[in-house]
């Protein structure tokens, strides 16, 4: 039961499920408190409705269920004062300079203007600027970009009824980003294309995804037992052994598993109209696929390490949690630090310094980053608003974790420069993973109870 690759990623060979679960018992109350009681971490501004899917015509993939809808904060009075348009425009300006570093571009600096009293995290950001260290396409907080403020608390991630060809097409495209070297699918060659043909029929997608699932399972067996024969299946060649490619796959599959855990737990029983856990859903999607659960735990270890690594920087004035009220800001910082301290209990739970160093590792880094960016772009193809919201939050969260882990040298004085949306996404993704671990435990109990009753 080794959820995290024993091949050198984790220092003491393998952090067991139990170790991570014990850690989570300590982390969960703190991360829930942070994400559920502070304005800063419970509001996310993003462009939810105005972007079109850059990869295919998604007109048919929309989910019309009420469960798919997102309630945005249309009334400015509901938006914390410091983020209202008027306040944001005050912060905008051309002389931006991050206190810890120099702005990258002279004309339109990435991180907005900072006066002496203005925190990096409050600042106006430009949508189309992408730091070359970013793992995802930045979300925009600027007043001009017509993004919407969303209360994450009022739009919980849960079952929405979004399914079918539209959803499979997105997952399929996401997994195809894992084919780093070769793929038998010409359409996966470059996701920058606009001419991706309309997807094949639903049945083809199902077959393809099942083949992908089988392939992933085989890959998993192969990793634990190198003698397992490799059987190539159509369309999902994962003919790679290197650490970086395995990490990429695990991050994606772990995110998928986490989403499945939440929708199975917070499931709408369409007969009774009640929201309740759906054990059969858990058994089919997760319990029968231990490698998916393993990938979920892997992500927990990875994000825990990123949060712990960021901790010391968040203590300083380099980061400000500007809500407009100094005592609330101080309380928010204290809550953040409680989370980062708890996340630091197991040092080096994930050893990022081993990645991108040996063999083809160094040359893979840019590819890895670009592929992750493509996944973040794919979120605009998700045809259910609420799924898109949480998909965007979580891809941004993982992207930020990867950026913190792989773009900031542990031994350098370089200060990780993060946007407000990145910080909020990182901690909310951590909260989602924390909830997933606890959900899996609760499902295991339900399963045992059911078995005992039979």
Binding-site size for ligand FAD (CB under 6 A) equals 27
Coil/strand/helix, residue 385: helix
Residue whose C-alpha is closest to residue 406's, from 447, 337, 350: 350
Q: From the CB of 423, what's the least distance to ligand FAD, in Å? A: 21
Residue whose C-alpha is closest to residue 147's, from 85, 78, 68, 63: 85
Q: Does the protein bind ligand FAD through residue 212 (CB under 6 A)?
A: yes
Cα–Cα distances (Å) from 154 to 36, 225, 341, in that order, read: 10, 46, 28
Question: 385-404: which residues touch ligand FAD (CB under 6 A)?
Answer: 386-387, 390-391
- Catalytic status, residue 384: yes
Q: From the CB of 137, what's the least distance to ligand FAD, in Å? A: 14
- Catalytic status, residue 130: no
Among 84, 187, 222, 256, binds ligand FAD (CB under 6 A): 256
Largest Cα span, the chain: 69
Nearer to ligand FAD, 112 or 397 (CB): 397
d(Cα 421, Cα 80) in Å, to the nearest integer? Answer: 15
Q: From the CB of 295, what's the least distance to ligand FAD, in Å? A: 6
**Whole-angstrom distance between the N-terminal and C-terminal Cα of the chain?**
27
Q: From the CB of 212, what's the least distance to ligand FAD, in Å? A: 5
Q: Does the protein bind ligand FAD through residue 277 (CB under 6 A)?
A: no
Q: Does the protein bind ligand FAD through residue 168 (CB under 6 A)?
A: yes
Q: From the CB of 255, what's the least distance to ligand FAD, in Å? A: 8
| Residue that the structure tokens 């370089």 belong to | 414
State the DSSP H helix or E strand holding residue 217, giving kind and residue range, or none if neither.
helix 202-224
31 and 434 in contact (C-beta within 8 Å)?
Answer: yes
300 and 435 in contact (C-beta within 8 Å)?
Answer: no
Segment contacting ligand FAD (CB under 6 A): 204-212, 356-364, 397-405, 419-427? 204-212
Segment contacting ligand FAD (CB under 6 A): 81-89, 141-149, 159-167, 420-428? 159-167
For residues 266, 270, 272 and 276, what is the CA-based torsion angle, rounded to 10 degrees?
-10
Q: Does the protein bind ligand FAD through residue 216 (CB under 6 A)?
A: yes
Coil/strand/helix, residue 268: strand
Nearer to ligand FAD, 142 or 260 (CB): 260
Q: Does the protein bind ligand FAD through residue 173 (CB under 6 A)?
A: no
Count the neighbouring beta carbons within 10 Å of the beta carbon of residue 95: 10
104 and 121 in contact (C-beta within 8 Å)?
Answer: no
Q: From the CB of 208, what's the least distance to ligand FAD, in Å? A: 9
- Interface residues with ligand FAD (CB under 6 A) are 157, 159-160, 162-163, 167-168, 170-171, 209-210, 212-213, 216, 253, 256-257, 259-260, 263, 285, 292, 382, 386-387, 390-391
Which residues are annotated as catalytic?
384, 387
């Amino acid at each position: 039961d080794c959820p995290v690759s024993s091949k050198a990623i984790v220092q003491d060979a393998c952090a067991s499920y139990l170790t991570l679960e014990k850690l989570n018992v300590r982390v969960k109350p703190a991360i829930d408190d942070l994400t559920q009681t502070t304005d800063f971490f419970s509001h996310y501004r993003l462009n939810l409705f105005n972007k079109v899917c850059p990869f295919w015509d998604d007109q048919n993939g929309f989910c019309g269920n009420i469960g798919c809808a997102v309630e945005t904060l249309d009334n400015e009075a509901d938006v914390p004062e410091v983020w209202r348009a008027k306040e944001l425009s005050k912060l905008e300006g051309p002389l931006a300079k991050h206190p810890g570093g120099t702005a990258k571009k002279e004309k339109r600096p990435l991180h907005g203007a900072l006066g002496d009293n203005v925190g990096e995290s409050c600042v106006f950001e430009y949508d189309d600027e992408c730091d070359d260290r970013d793992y995802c396409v930045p979300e925009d907080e600027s007043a001009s970009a017509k993004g919407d403020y969303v209360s994450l608390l009022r739009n919980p991630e849960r079952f929405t009824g979004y399914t079918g060809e539209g959803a499979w097409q997105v997952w399929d495209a996401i997994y195809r980003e894992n084919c780093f070297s070769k793929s038998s699918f010409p359409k996966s060659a470059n996701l920058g294309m606009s001419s991706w043909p309309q997807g094949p029929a639903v049945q083809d997608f199902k077959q393809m995804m099942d083949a992908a699932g089988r392939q992933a399972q085989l890959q998993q067996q192969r990793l634990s037992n190198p003698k397992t024969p490799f059987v190539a299946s159509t369309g999902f060649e994962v003919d790679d052994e290197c650490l970086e490619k395995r990490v990429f796959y695990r991050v994606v599959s772990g995110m998928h598993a986490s989403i499945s855990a939440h929708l199975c737990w917070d499931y709408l029983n369409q007969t009774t109209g009640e929201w309740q856990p759906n054990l059969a859903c858990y058994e089919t999607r997760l319990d029968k696929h231990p490698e998916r659960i393993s990938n979920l735990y892997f992500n927990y270890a990875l994000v825990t390490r990123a949060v712990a690594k960021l901790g010391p920087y968040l203590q300083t004035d380099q980061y400000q949690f500007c809500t407009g009220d100094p005592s609330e800001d101080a309380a928010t910082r204290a809550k953040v630090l409680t989370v980062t301290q708890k996340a630091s209990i197991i040092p080096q739970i994930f050893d990022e310094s081993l990645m991108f160093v040996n063999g083809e590792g160094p040359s893979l880094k840019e590819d890895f980053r670009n592929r992750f960016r493509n996944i973040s772009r794919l979120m605009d193809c998700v045809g259910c608003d609420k799924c898109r919201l949480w998909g965007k939050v979580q891809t941004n969260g993982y992207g930020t974790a990867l950026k913190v882990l792989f773009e900031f040298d542990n031994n350098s004085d370089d200060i990780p420069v993060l946007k407000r949306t990145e910080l909020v996404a990182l901690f909310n993704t951590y909260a989602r993973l924390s909830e997933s671990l606890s959900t899996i435990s609760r499902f295991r109990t339900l399963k045992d109870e059911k078995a005992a009753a039979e």
